[in-house]
Amino acid sequence: MAKSFIQFLKQKITVSVLITVVVFNIFNPIADDIFTPLVGYIIDPNKYLDDFKITLNNKYVLKYGMIIKQCIVSVVVLGLIYYVDKFFF
Residue pair 53/62 in contact (Cβ under 8 Å)? The answer is yes
Burial grade of 83 (CB within 10 A; 0-12, 13-18, 19 or more): exposed
- C-alpha 44/C-alpha 38 separation (Å) is 10
Could you read off the pLDDT of 34-62 as tens digits, one per residue? 888 888 888 889 988 888 999 999 889 99
pLDDT at 82: 93
2 has a pLDDT exceeding 80: no
Could you read off the pLDDT of 59-85 as tens digits, one per residue? 899 989 988 988 988 898 889 889 999
Residue pair 39/76 in contact (Cβ under 8 Å)? The answer is yes
pLDDT at 16: 86
pTM beyond 0.75: no
